[in-house]
A and B are shown apart, each in its own frame.
Chain A
Amino acid sequence: MDNTGKSVAFRGGGFAPQSRRWVGVLVFVALILFVEWGTRAGWISALSLPRPTDVLDTFRQLYDSGLLFKHLLPSLSRLFVGALFGASIGIAVGIMIGLFSYVRSGLVPLVAAIFPIPKIALLPLFVIWFGIGEGSKYALIAFGTFTPTVVATYGAVDNVDRTLIRMGQSFGLSWWSIVRKIVLPGAMPGILSGLRISLAIAIILLVAAEMLGAEYGIGAYILEAGSLYDLERLFAGVVILSLLGVLISALIGMLERRLLGWRT
């Protein structure tokens, strides 16, 4: 047989990103080493960026003095309560928008009007309504997580396969069964990916919420360090928020793997 032909060139690769866990870590490590090198060698001045080892040192002091948890715990509870209220009301309202014509017509414009308001601007209002204590902080975070959750949820409900709903009706399933067993699980992928965004927004708003009347809290700690231009402490605080973000994202990833294993 004649085998002299040219072999066909492969051109089907790419466009299928896969997760390579260690690459993410490598990027972090490289960046930190780079800054460490720059600050030690002197071509990054100590005024423009703190040295990573100094930030680590500050972090250790924070831990040793026990202040870390004094700051962390109130922040976590604000985040938890605020995000819990915001997300659960958001999911409920989003589902109602997805199911009822009148609720949709009535609320979609309202949500669109609320969404672009920088919630930080409303902090004084929340202080008047809910007091300078925890109430206003919960409200700010809840309000900030509410809108993106609503939008993600009703989009997810709209995307539930209509033939599955028809199937439920054709077997005489009750309205409530269809919502619980078909609409909700079908919307779950969209709801969870919306939750990723809403919870990141909740962390952003944590700093804003602690601007007024908070003695302890990561946000308060960062704001205080910022006003003193204490970059090491500022960065230590920022790193905590970043870690919090990574943690929440990992938690949602776990939830997705558990709940959405059925996806192809």
Chain B
Amino acid sequence: MDIRLDGIGHSYDEFEVMRDITLDIPSGRIVCIVGPSGCGKSTLLRFIGGLEKPKSGRVLQLGDPPKGCLNPLTYIFQDFALLPWRSVSGNISLVLEDHGINGAAAKIIIDDVLARTKLTDFAKALPKQLSGGMKQRVAIARALAVNPAVMLMDEPLSALDSQTRELLMDDLVELWTRQPFTAVYVTHNLAEAVRLGHKVVVLSRRPGKIREIVDIEKPLAKREFGDADLDRAQKHLWQLMRDEARAADAELLHG
């Protein structure tokens, strides 16, 4: 299943947030969206997942979600959004219960996703017992449990320290290599973008427009920390963004 953004524009009252965004998200690829603060990245992601409606333009699903897909468009949030009163496995079963998956059937899925995210030993732990990196892995496991067609990630690693971020990026690459998934990955960290993205979409400052789309051909599994190609791509992205970011930073909020 592909996603097509067709001329998306939006404003909050008189305040224009983005204009004419047209973009294809091909299945099995990770599309990273970068852009200066306040350019509408999170808002765009909310449109894609149907949590908010754009003023103009449409978000289209091309084709049907694969069989066995419980929640085609699934988010991974920056602040994890785990229920603190449920254990790790309880948090995952939460999203299965509404599909009538309980008991043994649920346990098979939960065991599988916990194994894939290396959390098997923590099934009974409460979120307050987990480190930030583990919490985000629980959120990833929860997303995998519903077998999504597209994962929508809004700065999923931003709340983590840089070592944990490296580890989790490796985990994501490993997950993708074993079973390619489609993802829209919003970040302001260019290193993450060149590490995980097949396509990096650079947005201009508000009102957000597509400035450039950079394709990175190198296979995910071959990309490494401090890779020269990636550094070049990252430098290119930063050149695109620098002036925008400086201008965005100098703007008054809602001015």
Contacts and interface: CB of A to CB of B under 8 A. Distances in A.
A4 interface: no
Given A167-B81, A262-B85, A262-B126, A173 B74 contact: no
A263 to B, nearest CB: 7
B81 A172 contact: no
Instruction: Please classify the interface of chain B as helix (H, G, I), strand (E, B), loop, or mixed, using the class held by over half of its residues.
Output: loop
Contacts of B70: 172
A262 B125 CA distance: 10
Interface stretch (A11-19, A174-182, A218-226, A244-252): A174-182
Nearest to A167: B81
B128 interface: yes
A167 B152 CA distance: 12
Interface of A: 163-164, 166-167, 169-174, 177, 181-182, 185-186, 260-264
A185 B91 CA distance: 13
Contact of A182 (B75, B83, B128, B142): B83
A171 B85 contact: no
Contacts of B95: 171, 173
Interface of B: 49, 51, 70-71, 73-75, 77, 79, 81, 83-86, 94-95, 97-98, 126-128, 142, 146
Contacts of A181: 83, 94, 97
Nearest to A174: B98
Nearest to A166: B51
B98 A164 contact: no
Contacts of B75: 167, 170
Contacts of B126: 261-262
B83 A164 contact: yes
A24 to B, nearest CB: 28
Contacts of A164: 81, 83
A185 B94 CA distance: 13
Nearest to B97: A177
A241 B173 CA distance: 65
Nearest to B152: A170
Contacts of A174: 98
A262 B95 CA distance: 20
